[in-house]
Amino acid sequence: MIRWLEVRLMNVPLLDLQAQYSTIKDKVRAAVDHVLESQRFILGAQVSALEEEIGKFCGVPFAVGVASGTDALLISLKALGVGPGDAVVTVPFTFFSTAGTIVNLGARPVFVDIEETGFEMDPERLSAFFSRECTFNLTTRKTVHKASGTVIKAIVPVHLYGQCADMDEILAIAQRHNVPVVEDACQAIGAAYKGRNAGAMGDLGCFSFFPSKNLGGAGDGGMIITSNPKLAEHVRLLRAHGAHQRYFHSIVGFNSRLDELQAAILRVKLPYLQEWSNARHENAVRYGMDFQAAGLLSQVKPPEVLPDRSHIFHQYVIRCEMRDDLQAFLKAQGIGSEIYYPVPLHEQECFRSLGYAATDLPRSHAASKETLALPVYPELSDAQRGHVVASMAAFYRGQR
C-alpha cells in the first residue's frame, strides 16, 4: 500500500534543472562572483576562453559567442549573404527560429520533408527538390528556384533532438548545387556523425545555450563554429555592429554578444557535458528495454538510433498511439512530457503566405501528430523511469 502510494505520488518532470544545479552550485557561484569582481561583462576573458574550449570540443579552429541560438542562425545566414530575394532550404519539423531567421533576413524559406522514420532532413527529398524545382545558372554558378526566381543561398539541416541529419548525403547534394550549408545544431552539441562533430561539418554550425539545452546557461546564449577563417571573421564582425575596430564600421552588424556571466557559467558546465549526455543516452537505452519488457512496442515506437551517429538525446521522442490522451494521462500521474512540435512550420499562421498545404509535407505533419518527448534528463532515477513506463503500460491496458 505504501509502495503503491509512493509510486502514485512520484513526480517526474520533463526536465529537472534544480537536480543538475545542486551538483555544481558552488562552482557556478564562484564563477559568477569572479565575473562580478572583475566588472568586465562584455567580450572579455570568459567569452574568449569558452570560444576556445567549444572550438576544441568540436574540433574546429573558430568559435564565436553570440546572444542566442536564434542569433547564431541569423548571423550565419547573413554572413552567407542571405537577404531579400533569396531562398533558403530547410525542414518544417523544427523549432521556429530555423525558419524565422530566414524570414527576418527578408528571404524565403523553402521546406523539404523529413525522413520516413527519423526526424531529420531527407536527402532524397532535398535532391528531388533541386532536380525538379531548380536550375543551375552556369554564368553566376548559382542555383535558382524556378517557381520564384530566387537564388538558393543556403541549406539548413537540423540535428533534431540531438541526432545528426544524414550529412554526407546532404553535403554532397549541397556541393553539387554550389550551395553552402548551415547546421542548426542548437539541440546537438556533442553529437557526432561518422566520427565528425555536429556543427563542424557544414560551412557554419549553430549552437544554443538556452537553459533547457544539454549545455544550458542562466539565460540566453549561443555560438557559431566554423573552419573557414573568412566566415569566422565575418560573423565576428556581425555580432558587434560590424566594427573591425571600435567606431569604425566596415559592415552593418548586430548587437549580439554572449555575456561574460553566461560564458563563465557555461565554462563550469562544459566539462560535465559528455557525462550528462552519456547519462541521457543510458536512459534512452533503458527506456527501449523497458518498453519491450512491458509489451509496449506495438503502441510505442522508440526513437531510432542509427549506428553511424552518436545521439545526445536532447529529447527522447517516441511515436505513439493516442498521443494526446497518453499525454493527459501521464500528466495526471505527475509525469511531464511535451510535444516538439505540435504545428510544423509550413502550417504556421505566420507562414501562410508561403502557400503550403499541410499535406505538402506529410511526414512532418504526421510527426507533429504522433510524437511525444518523455523525461530523459541525466538525473532521472530508475524509479522515475519505471513510473513513466508503468504509467504508459497502465494507459494502454486501459484502452483495450
Q: Does 98 bind ligand PLP (CB under 6 A)?
A: yes
Nearest approach, Cβ of 262 to ligand PLP (angstroms)?
A: 11
Q: How many CB atoms lie within 10 A of CB 141?
A: 9
Grid cell locating 41: 561583462
CA atoms within 13 A on the CB side of 122: 18
For residue 26, which amino acid is it?
Answer: D
> Closest-CB residue for ligand PLP?
69
Looking at the Cβ atoms of 186 and 318, the one nearer to ligand PLP is 186
Instruction: Give the C-alpha distances (Å, rounded to integers) separating 302 from 130, 169, 242, 251.
Output: 32, 25, 46, 48
Q: Does 315 bind ligand PLP (CB under 6 A)?
A: no
Tell me which residues in 219-278 interact with ligand PLP (CB under 6 A). 220, 222
With CA atoms as reference, report the closest residue to 156 among 222, 77, 48.
77
Looking at the Cβ atoms of 184 and 290, the one nearer to ligand PLP is 184
Looking at the Cβ atoms of 70 and 391, the one nearer to ligand PLP is 70
SS3 state of residue 132: helix
Q: Which stretch binds ligand PLP (CB under 6 A): 45-53, 114-122, 183-191, 362-370?
A: 183-191
Nearest approach, Cβ of 213 to ligand PLP (angstroms)?
A: 6
Instruction: Give the C-alpha distances (Å, rounded to integers) separating 46 from 36, 60, 65, 212.
Output: 12, 19, 10, 21
Nearest approach, Cβ of 179 to ligand PLP (angstroms)?
A: 20
Q: Which stretch binds ligand PLP (CB under 6 A): 180-188, 234-242, 301-309, 385-393?
A: 180-188
110 sits in which H/E element? strand 108-111
Owner of C-alpha cell 553570440: 66
Cα 238 from Cα 80, distance rounded (Å): 11
Q: Does 375 bind ligand PLP (CB under 6 A)?
A: no
Q: Does 374 bind ligand PLP (CB under 6 A)?
A: no
Looking at the Cβ atoms of 63 and 158, the one nearer to ligand PLP is 158
Q: Does 351 bind ligand PLP (CB under 6 A)?
A: no
CA angle 273, 276, 280 (to 5 degrees): 135
Looking at the Cβ atoms of 199 and 302, the one nearer to ligand PLP is 199
Tell me which residues in 33-92 interact with ligand PLP (CB under 6 A). 68-70
Nearest approach, Cβ of 252 to ligand PLP (angstroms)?
A: 21
Which residues partner with 32 through β-bridges?
none
Looking at the Cβ atoms of 109 and 222, the one nearer to ligand PLP is 222
Q: Does 364 bind ligand PLP (CB under 6 A)?
A: no
Cα 200 from Cα 205, distance rounded (Å): 6
* Among positions 76, 163, 208, 315, the unique one binding ligand PLP when judged by CB under 6 A: 208
Looking at the Cβ atoms of 156 and 335, the one nearer to ligand PLP is 156
Instruction: Give the C-alpha distances (Å, rounded to integers) separating 400 from 293, 351, 386.
Output: 18, 40, 22
* Among positions 46, 90, 187, 283, the unique one binding ligand PLP when judged by CB under 6 A: 187
Residues 6+ apart with CB under 8 A from 44: 38, 260
Cis check: omega of the bond before 341, within 30 degrees of 0: yes
Q: Does 163 bind ligand PLP (CB under 6 A)?
A: no
DSSP state of 234: H
* Among positions 46, 76, 90, 97, the unique one binding ligand PLP when judged by CB under 6 A: 97
With CB under 6 A as the rule, give the number of residues binding ligand PLP: 15
DSSP state of 215: S
Q: Does 94 bind ligand PLP (CB under 6 A)?
A: yes
Grid cell locating 117: 522514420
Query: Which residues contact ligand PLP by CB under 6 A?
Result: 68-70, 94-95, 97-98, 158, 184, 186-187, 208, 210, 220, 222
